[in-house]
Structure 1
Amino acid sequence: MTPVALSEDNPLQPLIAEVNGDPAQLQLRYENHRVARNNQQREKILADSFSGWSIDEILKRLDGPAKEDGFVDPRNCLVIWARPSPQVRDLIGFVQNELKSVAPSLWLMPLENLHITVLEAAHSLTEGEIEELVQTLRSSEDITASQIATYPLNHPTRLIKPMVSFDSAALALSFVPAAAECSKTEASTDSDYYTYHHLRRDIFDMVRQTKVPVASRYSVPSAHLTIARFINQNGFTVDGEDGVEKVDASSVKLFIDKIGEINQKLQTEYWPREGAIKEGGEWIVGQECLTIRRGRVWYGGGETVTLD
């Protein structure tokens, strides 16, 4: 395989350079990012000024009580995904059921559609524009689509410490890069110096070497799978004294408290402890290759780009 040539403006390289590639420091950056964001969002959502969930207006028209027959998502994308292991899917199924117990109207990502976006190459384009990018990818002589998809097989990365991350629009199960913690699988902890952040960096430049321009919106230290979105306010409003619906602060707090309860359970049972990791608490990213997807992929859909 042609070596990955790191471009000077790769947005994922600065963090690696900043911590000298230390996996423990990279893990800390990922952990600090998700904890700070959860704390920020919790404060915002529980504030008296909170006006309700941020509804996904496109998903609302595609699924749920307000579904519009014949409506088509206009946004087309080109992305590179990793699919979670069966154990991680099972864990997410448990989390989704727990969330649903206090938020019955919550839209849940179908388990078969779950994915983590390693790289978003293009988003919100037309079908024709995506087709041009796919043809550019397929015609590349330096780096092939197959080489990109199979890259993690020789560059394994581990994600650990699952936690529910959230904001007013959606919820995700997030992970952090491993840093020599015990392994549930045969994966070597010695290889943790090559982290998920390194993988994101390398895939970014491999796609660039195909001459596909990368328009990724995400370079923050985050490893997450979206598991739920809000498509209405059902269950979170009450009638005010003037007869106008308003946010039911008690229902919102119950939901946020439920997230805290789930996260406590995840930390107690699925984080590394006493030299062991429970199934679902560790994920070897791309252990069955990455998936290149095109089209309407926002909710786990789209089509797989066939490999040469």
Structure 2
Amino acid sequence: MVALELTDARNKLEDLSGIKLEPGENPYTALIRTCNDNPAEIQTLYSVHRTKRNAQQAEKFLDPNFKELIIDQYLLRLEDQTVEPGFRDPRNCLVFWARPPDHVVRLAARLQELLKQAAPNVWLMPTHKMHLTALEVAFSKTPDEIASLVSTLRPAIPSIVNYPYSHRSRLVKPMISYDLSAFAVSFLPAAGEDPLSPPPVEPIVTDGITQGDEYTYHHLRRDVFDQVQAGGVEVGSRYQVPSAHITLGRYLNHQDHDTPEKRANWVKAIDEINQWLEKEVWDNPDSEFVGEWIVGQEKGLDARNGTLWYGGGRTIMLGEGF
């Protein structure tokens, strides 16, 4: 089998935060330090990252010299077996995912509907496979390499997957983020917004629970990183950018974007969806959709390995939700 090019190779998720790491430093600690451990500053950094990136991508779609989308050659072969009959994805990974609660899945499904209206030929992530990558431990390894890492980390996994039960971080302000290979709904760490989520399942436990916006999603990622390293496994993530996103879909062909008019319509559709989100969903207790996510609600972290790129693989352990 010819080695296929990763979409990441042509579509690098550049860290636009400007954070400088000390040697050997937890990258999440570095961002928190740069932001003076201030939730508002952390939110701003996440916001600047996604806003800058969307602006960059819009320029690419609207460029008169636009060449092509970046089609995921692995997904193309998995979805269309006529391209390479019998193709199997060889890329094995080890991750900790956050699984969205029902109200976030409902919002994500609605966003998929709106995007599908604008581009009928896109591939959509099945809702039951949706996830937010809290930490990617290892990627593009063989099954045996991943099995060895799982064996090393196994004693630490229960405390990691249950960690959000007692350390509750909040995500708000959903927005469509996109590039030449995929599109996602991204969130920002909360910083004092009024609560919108449905209450946890009763009885509501508060003893020993860290909550409030001083403990952000970036703090959660910092702590998971430290726990994995303490468990004896070196974290080999592709990126640790200030982003909290659920992939909604990818492009499998050029049919919806093969003219300047179609590409302009795509950018316009995303802008309109984002305006709707900001106006109707953000900070709106009367909205049909809830745009807030307290990580760990309904399910704890999902320790997972296998061919995970498109929501696949298997669960090693799923943590307790609230």
Q: Normalising to structure 2: TM-score of the pair?
A: 0.85
Partners of 1:99 and 1:181 lie apart in 2 by 27
Please show how residues 1-308 of structure 1 align to structure 2 within 5 Å: 9-64=25-80, 68-138=84-154, 140=155, 144-185=156-197, 186=199, 191-237=212-258, 248-273=259-284, 279-287=289-297, 288-306=299-317
Partners of 1:67 and 1:303 lie apart in 2 by 26
Distance 1:163 1:66, change over 3 A: farther
Partners of 1:297 and 1:286 lie apart in 2 by 20
**Matched pairs, number:** 287
Q: Is the 8 A contact 2:68 2:254 kept in 1?
A: yes
Partners of 2:318 and 2:180 lie apart in 1 by 38
CA-CA distance at 1:255 after TM superposition: 1.0
CA-CA distance at 1:193 after TM superposition: 0.2
CA-CA distance at 1:49 after TM superposition: 1.1
CA-CA distance at 1:306 after TM superposition: 3.6
What SS does the corresponding residue of 1:194 show, helix, strand or coil? coil
What SS does the corresponding residue of 2:162 show, helix, strand or coil? helix
For 1:240, the equivalent position in structure 2 comes to none
Q: Is the 8 A contact 1:115 1:300 kept in 2?
A: yes
What SS does the corresponding residue of 2:175 show, helix, strand or coil? strand
RMSD: 2.1
Partners of 2:225 and 2:61 lie apart in 1 by 34
Partners of 1:233 and 1:112 lie apart in 2 by 26
| Structure 1 portions without partners, runs of 5+ | 1-6, 238-247
CA-CA distance at 1:64 after TM superposition: 4.4
Q: Residue type matched to 1:117 in 2?
A: T
Bigger drift between 197-206 and 228-237 goes to: 228-237
Partners of 2:165 and 2:317 lie apart in 1 by 18
Q: Normalising to structure 1: TM-score of the pair?
A: 0.88
Partners of 1:68 and 1:261 lie apart in 2 by 38
| Structure 2 portions without partners, runs of 5+ | 1-22, 201-205
Distance 1:278 1:284, change over 3 A: farther
Q: Is the 8 A contact 2:301 2:318 kept in 1?
A: no
% identical aligned pairs: 47
Q: Is the 8 A contact 1:183 1:276 kept in 2?
A: no
What SS does the corresponding residue of 1:58 show, helix, strand or coil? helix
CA-CA distance at 1:121 after TM superposition: 0.2
Q: Is the 8 A contact 1:145 1:307 kept in 2?
A: no
What SS does the corresponding residue of 2:128 show, helix, strand or coil? helix
Q: Residue type matched to 2:316 in 1?
A: V
Q: Is the 8 A contact 1:64 1:231 kept in 2?
A: no
Q: Is the 8 A contact 1:23 1:179 kept in 2?
A: yes
